[in-house]
Structure 1
Amino acid sequence: MLEACHERVQRTLGLLGRLRAHVQAHGADNDARQAARDVLRYFDVAAPLHHQDEELHVFPLLLAEATPEVRALVLRLQQDHVAMTADWAAARVGLQALVDGGATGFTPQDEAAFDRFAGRYGAHIAAEEGAAYPAAAALLSPASLATMGREMAARRGAV
């Protein structure tokens, strides 16, 4: 489930990239506003749940039982979550202005915020999938994985 969330993050970041190009070429039309709404919805709702999943299920296990190198990585990933929240707060300003009709395009500050947000997220995902998730998978039993999946689904109202 965690890797599937990463796929959705990547798709939504791709949508943000296409939205930026669209706005540059066509302005803030209805398609742009709908895409901005979709990006806002994902990163306002789903992404925080994903971070919560990691903070509740993956990171404590790794901090308690993983190698010192992985524990150091987890501390950095936790710091990333804080920084990504701030990055998103900055990035969402331009998207919300577009949705609300108060913007005809993105400012240079918006563009910089989008770049910072997408860049940090990409590096974060690479670190999780490259080291943190494999380390957690090695420590979890199939029954523990199933329980974790049910709890994540329940947080999303899917149970």
Structure 2
Amino acid sequence: MVAVPRLDISDVVDLVNHYAVRARAAAGDEGKGYRPLREVLASLAPQVGECSTGELQALADAAYEVFVAAADGRDVAPAVNALLAPAGPTPVLGANGDVVWEVEEGRSPLRGALGVTLLDWLHTRGAERLGVCGGRRCADAFADASPAGRRKFCSATCLNRHKVAEHRRRAALLDAS
């Protein structure tokens, strides 16, 4: 058995936003370069092992489906289960009483880590705290850890762009009348 590394939800969001092909296509960023693979894998956890850019894209796309389902108000369970099933993580009670997740040798610890992190987030915070940016030319995923839980944009930059665009739209309507 191989231990599934613990990831922070921000690591999952970062991986999805940099490698999910579907998110890039929705935002029109297909030509945008990728972060160096070694840098991404090193930032996630040393235990995830090696994987190709194609494998990372497939995992990011599978995780992105969870964010899309949450943003659309659909049941996230099928997307989470589709992410978890190929890894087959098993919970094990650790020596200090913590729950540790493991996958069988030959299965992807990174897939297991992504699935378990999203599973934990959904269990503790709920699907309404995951989403896809409401910006006009952005399709980045986000996890809302704010106290109010009303986030609709991936970043302050996208929120500001949206506000400026709305202001300009309203000003143009006033000028036209």
TM-score normalized by the length of structure 1: 0.30
Larger Rg: 2
Q: Kindly indicate which of the two structures has a greater share of residues assigned to strand.
A: 2
Q: Kindly indicate which of the two structures has a greater share of residues assigned to helix.
A: 1
TM-score normalized by the length of structure 2: 0.27
Greater relative contact order (CA < 8 Å, ≥ 6 in sequence): 1
